Amino acid sequence: MDVKGSKQIHGRFTLIVVSISVWIYIIWSLNTSGYFEAWRLWCIPSETPAFIDFRLIPSGAETFRSGIDPAISNPNDPKGNIFNYPKIWYLFFYTGITQRDTIWISTVLIFLFFLAVSAFPEKLTTKDSLLTLLVVFSPAAILLYERGNVDLAFFALCGLAIILVDRFPAWGAVSLLVASVFKLFPFFGVGVFLSENKDRFYRYLLICTFIFLTYVVMSFESLKAAWSLTLRGTRSSYGDLVIFDLFHDLLYNYFFRLTNGNWVDVLLDVFPHFIALMLLAIAFYFGVKSKYPLSTDSERNLTAFRMGACIYLGTFLLGNNWDYRLAFLIFTIPQISRWMSSLRKNHLQYWSVLGAFVVLLISCWYTFNRCFYLFFTHGKFDFYLTVFDEIMNWFLFFALAYLLAISAPNWVRSFSWKPTWREILKLTKADLNENKS
């Protein structure tokens, strides 16, 4: 076996062994120290009963079977939370699921999450694994495990899509669409098809977009209701609206004076998205115009990077997301690590990649950093730390957009975007004939 192959085996072995070791510690701590003490190490806002986020589904099923719509009233939920998922989730209400199933189902979801974490990277050295583990066991990801949030399942589906896109892109599209039907945000990961040539990329993009938009139109009222019921925060959150919410009163007064009271609410809703889109355009422009594009020694790792980066960019533009969704940035780490190892340290691209990794860690470790900050400052200036965290999220937004552009295929960087529709139709017909045979 060559040295590179040995390093890659050691890298995956390190990832698996460390993950198992940390979970053994967590389980031991849960049994010996109690629920809250076990999670205190990561300074996350833990809640009981265990896996409180997942309990919304079986509690909703119990309420539904009692003749009450859980989207209106959900008395069986431990926290009394209204069921805020689209109507398609009601399919699970007919499975007989109850809150007694919470522990084993959430455990299976966590197992599938870590199965995806260990399976999606194509090449993984020990260094790559250690950097990945910094995000896998960051407070943002730990919050996902502690709550048993269903994003665990969609992370696994996105990981499966990454693996399938390499050899069976059509099945990769199916995996991504299944995830997108239940939770809309995985659709942003459609950027994984940039690994295909231009015509195939457009083909998968158009097919996926058509199916996705058809579902959205048919389920619009349900999706709208679910969106309005979803709880949102400012602390422990990211998105282009968050920092503007922190300064809401100041901005409201400014826009009120600027417009004489007209269109103030509209400006507060639209202005953050406008700023984010402008920043996205600037990052893309500088990325595609760079004379030193980023290459890769692993197409799958680059595909995974595109999945994680596109999901972050898309969810950031949605306005507000809880920090546990930062766990999808795990997909970006193997490729970021390889870039940091292969680029010269005096090269501008090296500092771009390193900067992206540093702000990524700051975002994922926010709650832990906050605990230490408040301890040493005796609880002062907490607001300013939150503002700093949101500024880091904006830097991460710009950095990932830049890295996406600078590592994009040549046809993207050369602005030769016009698809050859005849070739797309030809490829589609060929696949249909192959499936029939």
What distances in angstroms separate CA 246 from CA 237, 270, 355, 388, one per listed residue?
11, 16, 25, 11
Q: Are 72 and 167 in contact (CB under 8 A)?
A: no
- Which burial class, exposed, middle or buried, applies to 417 when counting CB atoms under 10 A from its CB (0-12, 13-18, 19+)? exposed
CB 293 within 8 A of CB 414: no
Lowest-confidence region among 108-117, 132-141, 243-252, 399-408: 243-252
Q: So what's the pLDDT on residue 418?
A: 80
Binning pLDDT at 50, 70 and 90, where does residue 5 land?
low
| Residues 359-401 pLDDT 10s | 999 999 999 888 888 877 777 778 888 899 999 999 999 999 9
Domain that holds residue 353: 3-436
pLDDT recorded at residue 253: 78
What are 217-222's contacts with CB under 8 Å, separation 24+?
A: 219/86, 219/87, 219/88, 222/86, 222/87, 222/88
pLDDT score at 1: 44
> What is the pTM for the complete model shown?
0.92
Q: Say which residue, 247 or 402, is predicted with more confidence.
A: 402
Range of lowest pLDDT (89-98, 263-272, 364-373, 383-392): 263-272
Residues 324 and 370: their CA atoms lie apart, in Å, by 16
CA distance 386 to 105: 34
How many domains are there within the chain? 1
Please say whether the beta carbons of 15 and 118 come within 8 A: yes
Q: Tell me the pLDDT tens digit for each residue of 48-60.
A: 999 999 999 999 9
- pLDDT value of residue 3: 46
Whether pLDDT at 408 is above 50: yes
The arithmetic mean of pLDDT across residues 127-133, rounded, is: 96
- How many angstroms separate the CA atoms of 390 and 363, rounded? 8
Long-range own/partner contacts, residues 80-83 (CB < 8 A, 24 or more apart): 81/56, 81/231, 82/229, 83/56, 83/229
Mean pLDDT of the chain: 89
- One-letter amino acid for residue 303 of the chain: T
To the nearest 10°, the Cα dihedral for 90, 92, 97, 102?
Answer: -100
- Residues 322-350: tens digit of each pLDDT: 999 999 999 999 999 999 998 887 678 89
